[in-house]
Chain A
Amino acid sequence: MTTVHLKPVEEQVVALMGASSGIGREAALRFAKQGAKVVVSARGEEGLDSLAEEIRREGGEGTPMVADTSDFEQVKAVADRAVEEYGRLDTWVHLAAVGLFATFEQTTPEEFERVIDVNLMGQVYGAMAALPHLKREGRGALIHISSVEAKRSLPFHSAYGASKHGIDGFLEALRVELKRDGCPISVTQVMPGTINTPFFDKGRTKLGVKPVGVPPIYEPETVANIILYAAENPVRDLVSGGAAQALILNQRLSPRMLDAILATRAGFSPQKTEEPRSEDDPDNLYAPIQGHDTAKNGFRAFSRSLYNWLQMHPTVKRGATLGTTLVLLAASQRRS
């Protein structure tokens, strides 16, 4: 069995797909700030230019490159560009995703297919494009940002949930294949819960209102932090936010019970804001839209997650688990 050793972030060349806004933008800035050389990519040129500008202002080094994640040649060009520009590729971070907020029956075949093309095939192309470079380098990290919906789909998200489940699916096979070959490449799936990003403004909605994820909502930096952690530490899965982890645990315990709860108001009403929005309003399903090139949206959000902190401090986590177990054991001894 090979142990994967990853370089410190400041010595890395990192490529990020889907960096113009949201988590990707925040992560790109953090990588650059810590001294990594970054290649940032997305469909929207404006967002990339303003990001590159911001990176330069902070004293970082970055190359913007426009690419559509649903086209393999374009994705491959991004990976190749990193090697041309900086000599190698150490970490591939794939974030690009579109949102479609509608019931299954409201979704057209074209819309469903487009969500799969961008959210799932895009991630597949990313891994295909980056792998040869990482293997040549002899080590590296593939970091795929899916969602808590990789494990449990929510109502209004049939296409989105299917695309995220797909990421989980291909990564599980790929991870084992690499392991068997003794390939020292870390494959991490990052599963965020609801994050305060422009994602909810850019997606197509048929709910009649601006959509939102089920609270608690976290700031993009909480996910950016764990992406940077995964770039240095070979971890299999990272769930971002305790709420997301709770949902996944529930799904493991009893999917039927979770169905019953999500079928009530609990599954639907927290996904709607009061702000009216039409399905004819501009969205980024087929082409980029302007005016959302920021990391954050305007929701009230937590900028820290105790759960994530514990994930990134495994020794403390083990200590806390042991401590809790001992306390419970002592308590049960006293009882009997």
Chain B
Amino acid sequence: MNAAIAERTIDIEGLPTRYLTAGSGPPLVLVHGVGTSAGEWSWVLPALARSHLVYAIDLPGFDSSARPPDYSPAFSARFLSAFLDALEVERPVVLGNSLGGLVALHLALSEPERVCALVLSDSAGLGRAVNPAQAVLSSPGGGELAATWAKTPAGATERAFQRGLLLFARPWQIPPKWLEDQYRLAQMPNFMEATLASLRANIGVAGQRDVLVDQLPRLTMPTLIVWGVEDRVFPYWQGKEAVTLLQEGSFELLPDCGHLPHVEQPRLFASIVGQFLGEMSSSGDASGSGPIEFEGGRGREEETGRRDRAANNLKRKDHR
């Protein structure tokens, strides 16, 4: 890929924070979910960086970021806001997957003037339902047991296996680098503690704790909700229902895709996001660029075809 990805570290409120950055253009900030790190964006980062200046942040506690005092999504949103201040990023598009979506949503609700547009991918916070496995993993005792076990090589292998089965529609096609990263991350100091604490902050026996559905009508910025149709963590109807509450929302359902569209369907995901960003800049205030183009025509045609099939009946645009 042609976009060079730089890895940098910056001090945010006393916490050394790692982030990846690439490209140039209007700013786009990527926020990852629980139990992973900014590196998980590497499958879409080069494509997105062709039209945008992309920042992918490590949420505090994950990978090389330091341990925060608090793992709640609201705290992470304030942390994200401080990150934008420190880097002097003005009105970026904020894109979050899973828990990262909830963090982005918190930021958009608390400081709407800071967020130019929002992309929520298989996001937390849009319904109570969650895979019961997550509730077991966050249970008292069960969580500690799983976290301790995951730090051993066999446990890290087991964790990568279970996450693979849970998060992907086609687990045996998972990119080796993703498995390699998961295996490495679980054995890093503090990583499993951060994962468990974040999980507990968000999920209890009765499902997701932090549901923001009733606040969605307050959002004024353009918002794209993207979901893998085979997401086994959060069911896709959460996104489908959420979009009806948005002032300016659209919904895209991805075929053959689980909880991590940016890893399992990177081309399709980047092209959908690229089109959303392109439409925004052509109709609105953001200075900018057209939809993201891909190298390799054949692949693109194929992806577009699949996308149209999936999106046919499900795409909605609710303008007030």
User: Which A positions have Cβ atoms within 8 angstroms of B?
Assistant: 193, 214-216, 243, 246-247, 250, 253-254, 256-267, 269-270, 328, 331-332, 334-335
Judge if B15 is at the interface, Cβ distance under 8 Å: no
Among B152, B154, B171, the residue within 8 A (CB) of A260 is: B171
Contact B154 A257 (CB under 8 A): no
Please tell me if the beta carbons of B165 and A270 are within 8 angstroms of each other in the complex: no
Residue pairs across A and B with Cβ atoms less than 8 A apart, 17 shown, are A193-B154, A214-B153, A214-B157, A216-B154, A216-B155, A250-B158, A254-B161, A257-B161, A257-B172, A258-B161, A261-B179, A264-B176, A266-B156, A266-B160, A270-B154, A328-B136, A335-B207
**Whose C-beta in chain A lies nearest to the C-beta of B164?**
A257
Please indicate the chain B residues that have their CB under 8 angstroms from the CB of A247 in the complex. Answer: 154, 158
Q: Which of B117-140 contact A (CB under 8 A)?
A: 128-129, 132, 135-136
Contact partners of B153 in chain A: CB under 8 A: 214-215, 266, 269-270
Closest residue on chain B to residue A256 by CB atoms: B172
Task: Provide the residues of chain B in CB contact with A267, threshold 8 Å.
Answer: 157
- Is B174 part of the contact surface with A, judged by Cβ < 8 Å? yes
Closest-CB distance, A270 to chain B (whole angstroms): 4
Per the bound structure, the CA–CA distance linking A266 and B176 in Å amounts to 11
Nearest CB in chain B: distance from A260 CB, A: 6
Bound Cα distance from A177 to B243, whole angstroms = 63
A335 touches B206 (CB 8 A): yes
Q: Is B241 an interface residue (CB 8 A)?
A: no
A260-B179 CB under 8 A given contacts A243-B154, A266-B157, A335-B205: yes
A269 — nearest CB in chain B belongs to which residue? Answer: B153
In contact, B206 and A334 (Cβ under 8 angstroms): yes
Residues of A within 8 Å of B129, CB to CB, are 335
Chain B residues within an 8 Å CB radius of A246: 154, 158
B-side interface mostly: helix
> How far does the Cβ of B202 sit from chain A's closest Cβ, in whole Å?
15
- Please state if B164 and A334 are interface contacts (CB–CB under 8 Å): no
Docked-complex contact A254 and B160, CB < 8 angstroms: no
Contact with A along B177-198 (1 / 0, CB 8 A): 0011001100000000000000
Complex Cα gap A246–B145 (Å) = 14
Interface residues of B in 17-59 (CB under 8 A from A): none
Determine how close the nearest CB of chain A comes to the CB of B175; give it in whole angstroms: 9
* Minimum distance in angstroms from A152 CB to a CB of chain B: 12
Point out the residues of chain A lying under 8 angstroms from B136, CB to CB.
Answer: 328
Query: Given the known A-B contacts A253-B165, A256-B172, A266-B183, are A334 and B205 also in contact in the complex, defined by CB atoms under 8 Å?
Result: yes
Q: Complex Cα distance A216/B151, Å?
A: 10
Are A250's CB and B161's CB within 8 A? yes
Task: Please report the C-alpha to C-alpha distance between residue A266 and residue B187 in the assembled complex, in whole angstroms.
Answer: 11
Known contacts A257-B174, A266-B183, A335-B206; 19 further A-B pairs (Cβ under 8 A): A214-B154, A215-B153, A215-B154, A243-B152, A243-B155, A247-B154, A254-B171, A256-B172, A260-B164, A260-B172, A260-B174, A261-B157, A261-B164, A266-B156, A266-B157, A266-B160, A266-B180, A267-B157, A331-B205
Q: For B183, give its contact among A243, A265, A328, A335 (CB under 8 Å).
A: A265
- Is A257 in contact with B165, judged by CB distance below 8 angstroms? yes
Residue of A nearest to B171 (CB): A257
Pair B152/A216 contact, Cβ less than 8 Å: yes
Q: Mark B273-286, 1 if CB is under 8 A from A, else 0.
A: 00000000000000
Query: How distant is B164 from chain A, measured CB to nearest CB, in Å?
Result: 6
Interface residues as binary, B192-223 with A (CB distance below 8 Å gives 1, 0 otherwise)? 00000000000001110000000000000000
Give the chain B neighbours of A193 by CB distance below 8 A: 154
Nearest 3 A-B pairs (CB), nearest first?
A256-B172, A270-B153, A331-B205
Q: Is there an interface contact between B160 and A261, defined as CB atoms closer than 8 Å?
A: yes
Q: Which residues of A contact B172 (CB under 8 A)?
A: 254, 256-257, 259-260
Q: How far is the CB of B132 from chain A (nearest CB, A)?
A: 7
> For the complex, what is the distance from the CA of A234 to the CA of B176, rounded to whole Å?
43
CA distance A266 to B183 in the complex (A): 7
CB-nearest residue of chain A relative to B162?
Answer: A250
- A263 and B176 contact, Cβ closer than 8 Å, known pairs A214-B157, A250-B161, A253-B165: yes
Q: Which of A214, A216, A264, A328 has the most CB of B within 10 A?
A: A264
CB closest residue in chain A, given B207: A335
User: Chain B contacts of A270 at CB under 8 A?
Assistant: 153-154
Which chain B residues border A335 with CB–CB below 8 Å? 128-129, 205-207
Closest Cβ of chain A to B141, distance in Å, is 11
**A328-B176 in contact given A253-B165, A261-B160 (Cβ < 8 Å):** no
> What is the CA–CA distance of A203 and B207 in the complex, to the nearest angstrom?
51
